[in-house]
Amino acid sequence: MAPPPLLALQGVMLTLGGKPLLEGADFAVAAGARLCVVGRNGSGKSTLLKIAAGEIEPDAGVRFLQPGASLRYLPQEPDFSGFATALAYVEAGLGPLDDPHVARTLLNDLGLEGDENPARLSGGEARRAALARVLAPEPDILLLDEPTNHLDLPTILWLEERLAALRSALVLISHDRRFLQDLTRETLWIDRGRTRHLARGFKEFEAWRDRELEEEEKQQHKLERKIVAEEHWLRHGVSGRRKRNMKRLGGLHHLRAERRDRVMPTGDVKLEASEAQLSGKLVIEAIKIGKSYGARVIVENFTTRILRGDRIGIIGANGAGKTTLVNLLTGALAPDSGKVRLGANLEMATLEQSRASLDPGTTLQDALTGGGSDTIEINGERRHVIGYMKDFLFKPEQARAPIGRLSGGERGRLMLARALAKPSNLLALDEPTNDLDLETLDLLEEMLADYPGTLIVVSHDRDFLDRVATSVLMSDADGRWIEYAGGYSDMVAQRGKGVETRGAIASARETKEKPAPREKAAIRQKLSFKEQHALATLPGKIDAWREKCAKLQRLLDDPELYARDPAKFAKASEAFAALQADIAEAEDEWLALEIKREEERSN
């Protein structure tokens, strides 16, 4: 007899905004389970996880948590209020018998010190702190909602290894196919409010889903034919025995009700890029370009030729300078040395990683049309904005809704809708897969495969890069960028390893160049007055630079700025990139001084 599950939901029902979201949802989590929850954006995946975590009370149904079982839940947007430091936030998630040292160790593994102010953490830093909080106790059940969001590739690989080694039962929501394929053994599909269970991992889900939908379509076809036959009988054969006829008539009403009440599958997003005239054969030529900010080298002596139709993937750890490289190649940022030559007849459309350009108070219609219009031009034809919205699965009633009410996935689709509406023969996409559901990712990949222009894409999604990229540019530290033919997996095969963090590269270099004992003693000298002053003042400078970055970001978020004033756009882009580099350099300097002070205290 199988042991009872650690966690189970039965007959869960929930209505939001007058519309049923979950209708009789069920699932169970056994000890050591590896389960992924999949479904379209808005299907109720995150809501189901919140109910499982006890965060939301359903309208009906039963939640069972085995007595004594420990559970931790990672939401998409963790709440850091009330915590002075990242370490305090992580320690608050520990149980009375958990080792408090694990909290700091995990934070350090994830690139944080622990004394960071949670209110000032970046998106990636906040996600790493939240991961440390749920991983530190090693609970019986881990519920993780989009754990890879805002993480770079090295951190995703670290997390994958960590989760694979845990004894905890895992329930995962993620848009990262490779992550789900590597970690899961069961799949729960939420479709039109109901759950369907597959006793195999995500690797086999999509083929199974297609078979299920095909069988459903066959059953619907049979239902339609049966209704037609019964209606024919009703018109021509009703003169027989009355009792039997009334029963058959009741059966027809039942069939019609079944057809009427059937919830159809959600439609597909229709992705189509507005195409400009073909560019010249040579799109971009970079000759020995270099870019540095102070002592930090972003790009050094880099040469490449990008031809029409190339699909270039750019990967690297956080802080490697991926966005800076894109800006250099597209002409938005001037190199310090070397030159970049752009081909003839280039029309570029961009999609930035940040969603900051989406003003929460702006309506969906105004965000697409620019305001003051109800039409949008796509491939030279005027279309009503409602029709274009439907292509991206937005409902007509959302046209006047403020963007602040959209979910993360809906904001992602809106960003794509805006970028693809602009005529282009060169697409520069920075993390386009963020917050998109798997079906929309499929369609984005198909659209990019058919796109006649050139693509430059920054992404941490390994599967996406394998499907889209014809070559990959990877940061190899100290400003060196190496090009590999093929996608991410081809890069790993040629290189023999994946992407490393900047810290791992520095650690490897220190191991090779270990200082002699006398040199170590020299390093551990007391902080000078200048160093003490820097240690005290750097945090304030970093905060001030971050505020300037935010102002520049708001300026650059204006979609018309480049067309209206290219010089101002270039100047703002260069200032923004320089400030980011200054912040990174100041943070590195502060960290080195803090380590030196700790060594001084230990001696």
Q: What is the DSSP string of 485-507?
A: ESSHHHHHHHHSS----HHHHHH
pLDDT at 258: 57
DSSP state of 333: S
pLDDT digits (tens, 9 = 90+) for 19-66: 789 999 999 999 999 999 999 877 889 999 999 999 999 999 999 999
In words, the CATH class of domain 517-602 is mainly alpha
- Tokens, residue 548: 């300037």
Q: In terms of pTM, does the model score above 0.85?
A: no
**More confidently predicted of 595 and 579:** 579
**What are the domain boundaries of the chain?**
7-207, 282-506, 517-602
The CA distance from 318 to 154, in Å, is 9
Region of poorest pLDDT, from 350-354, 372-376, 423-427: 350-354
| Band of pLDDT at residue 582, cut at 50, 70 and 90 | confident
CB atoms within 10 A of CB 133: 24
pLDDT at 516: 39
Q: Where are the alpha helices (DSSP H) in 431-501?
A: 438-450, 462-468, 488-495
| Band of pLDDT at residue 354, cut at 50, 70 and 90 | low
Query: Quick one: what percent of the chain has pLDDT higher than 90?
Result: 40
Residue 274 has pLDDT above 90, yes or no: no
pLDDT at 260: 55
Judge whether 7-207 and 517-602 match in fold.
no
pLDDT at 107: 94
Instruction: Name the residue with tokens 């010249």.
Output: 280
Q: Look up the CATH architecture of domain 7-207.
A: 3-Layer(aba) Sandwich (3.40)
pLDDT at 266: 56
pLDDT at 505: 38
Closest alpha carbon to 131 in 111, 116, 117: 111
Q: What is the arithmetic mean of pLDDT over 300-320?
A: 91
The CA distance from 497 to 479, in Å, is 19
Q: What is the arithmetic mean of pLDDT over 475-502?
A: 84
- Tokens, residue 491: 């890069």
pLDDT at 381: 78
pLDDT digits (tens, 9 = 90+) for 540-573: 888 788 888 778 877 777 767 766 787 787 788 7
pLDDT digits (tens, 9 = 90+) for 165-189: 999 999 999 989 999 999 999 999 9
pLDDT digits (tens, 9 = 90+) for 499-544: 765 444 344 444 444 443 433 333 344 667 677 777 778 888 887 8
pLDDT digits (tens, 9 = 90+) for 109-164: 998 999 999 988 888 889 999 999 999 999 999 999 999 988 888 899 999 999 99
Give how far Cα 456 sits from Cα of 315, 510, 536, Å: 11, 34, 41
pLDDT at 257: 60
What is the CATH topology of the domain spanning 282-506?
Rossmann fold (3.40.50)
